A and B are shown apart, each in its own frame.
Chain A
Amino acid sequence: MVRPKIITFICIIGYLSVVFTFPQVFSPQIKKLGVLMPAIYGILVAANFIACVGLWYFKQWGVQLYLVSVFAKTLFYLLVDQLGFGFYSNIVLSVIFMIILLRFFPKMDPNL
């Protein structure tokens, strides 16, 4: 099945968010949180990116990884107490995207 435009839009938003969040992995602010925090945050950013690649290819594992990465990122921000407008708007957008993705989930390719 050809990838729907809405999925393409979600993927582009995802790629842009990776471009902006990846530099934060080695920012002084994340570094101050702890020794392993840059590594953990980096894994979350990488997972988000890989999920977007999966969605781009219209794969089911992309949706699954996207769900896991959103959940993990939310948990990360809660644990480090980095709550603000960005956090809440991110959650709202993620929920909307998840609803859309789950709608297309049965039509996606189940293979790797």
Chain B
Amino acid sequence: MLRVLFKESLFFAWQSLVANKLRSFLSLLGITIGIFAIILVFTIVDGLESNIRGSIQSLGNNVVYIQKWPWDFGPDYPWWKYMNRPVPQYYELDDLQKRCKSVEALAYRIGKRKTIKYRSNSIQNAVVAGISHDFYKIKNFDLSSGRYFTQNETDAGYHLALIGANIASGLFPNEDPIGKEVKIGGYKAVVIGVIKKEGESLLGISFDYQIVTPFNFARYFLDPKSENSDPIIYAKAKPNVTNAEMMAELTGILRGLRKLKPMAEPNFALNETSLISKGFDGLFDVIGTAGWIIGGFSILVGGFGIANIMFVSVRERTNLIGIQKSLGAKNFFILVQFLGESVMLSTIGGFFGLLITYLITLLGKDAIDMDISLTSTNIILGFTISILIGIISGFIPAYSAAQLDPVEAIRSN
């Protein structure tokens, strides 16, 4: 019985929407824009967050970076304290490897932007990195073809290179790069492997535009003592060791290596990936909140629009309500009829808002090489907001319609 009641009420509601198509469309426009604004912002923020966290994840949560500058992005960054610090040196890697018990792997890296050439093709501003052999233990190299360096090749500084996917497609559009010679900073290097495509990374740590060489070769064209080469020592903790424990041990060893006095401040920075996450958390919160406020006002306006149209609809159909009631329709039937109309209107508006968001994410995927897609969470959120705004906006008009006296209703003009 209840099911028949609902079905009939919704049928009346649908008929009313279809009878006034233009009015229905204009009413749901506010909801469409509101849902579109909120869900688009949430989708973009989720996509950016996922990209950054994925990039950070690829580096590993248990990796500590020994650098000159700390990753402190606050407004009171005391840069003058860090200017005269020395950069991490390659020889420090050996000492750390011998003395540090809590690390599973240590690696050294320098890097700089340079032009890479192959015959008449060239790529400018590619990142050229010189790494120690154990770098693959820190950052796992997924190779689409070829192989990684051997220990001997790294130690001897053979003129070899691993190239990123975009470099491979740019320099070798129609041939296999393996075995070919490229020129880096005037030096020739043989390509022995191509790194699998990783896609855009907001942190700039994607290997697609990088060329990786053994450190002892890279030092010919990159100065490891210069800050411009951004020297970093990576330390990966053993499985049962926390970052804090490893950092404590590294601090003690480095202070000894650099002959720092007991009360002197450290002249090195130990950075963790969690600092990057924390830095971005605030940014994402701000973007999400801004989108929420903008979209929230749009939805509020849309809700008032629906409420207004429902009052008009009730006024127009007062006679009809009176006739329905006099034929035996219960208050609940009238309530469901108008509430159903309001919810249908807002849900259709929400659907169009989600559809526009989906189309924009499809266009965006082609424009930027990043995975931004409409998740099921955001779809559920979009429909939830639509249904709720429909209920809240439409309840008062629907209830006032349900309370009408049938005689007065039939009599009204």
Among candidates A18, A25, A35, residue contacting B380 with C-beta atoms closer than 8 Å: A35
**How far, in angstroms, from A46 to B394 measured CA to CA in the complex?**
11
Q: If the complex has contacts A35-B377, A39-B384, are A26 and B296 also in contact, measured as CB distance less than 8 A? A: yes
Q: Is the CB of B292 within 8 A of A53?
A: no
Among candidates A18, A27, A43, residue contacting B292 with C-beta atoms closer than 8 Å: A27
Q: Min CB distance, B44 to chain A, in Å?
A: 13
How many positions in chain B have a CB within 8 Å of any CB in the partner chain?
30
Decide if B322 is an interface residue (CB 8 Å cutoff). no
B-side contacts of A50, CB under 8 Å: 391, 395
B-side contacts of A35, CB under 8 Å: 376-377, 380
Q: Which of A9-49 contact B (CB under 8 A)?
A: 18, 22-23, 25-28, 31, 35-36, 38-39, 42-43, 45-46, 49
Decide if A1 is an interface residue (CB 8 Å cutoff). no
Q: Is the CB of B385 within 8 A of A112?
A: no
**How far, in angstroms, from A57 to B396 measured CA to CA in the complex?**
10
Q: Which of A66-83 contact B (CB under 8 A)?
A: none
- From DSSP, what is the main secondary structure of chain A's interface residues? helix
Q: Is the CB of B381 within 8 A of A112?
A: no
Q: Which of B364-407 contact A (CB under 8 A)?
A: 376-377, 380-381, 384-385, 388, 391-392, 395-396, 399, 402-403
Residue of A whose beta carbon sits closest to that of B388:
A42
What per-residue 1/0 map shows which CB atoms of B324-338 lie under 8 Å from chain A? 000000111001000
Q: Is the CB of B392 within 8 A of A49?
A: yes
A-B contact pairs, 12 of them (CB 8 A): A25-B385, A25-B388, A26-B292, A26-B381, A26-B384, A28-B284, A35-B380, A38-B380, A38-B385, A46-B391, A112-B332, A112-B402
Q: Which residues of A are at the interface with B, using a C-beta cutoff of 8 A? A: 18, 22-23, 25-28, 31, 35-36, 38-39, 42-43, 45-46, 49-50, 53, 57, 111-112
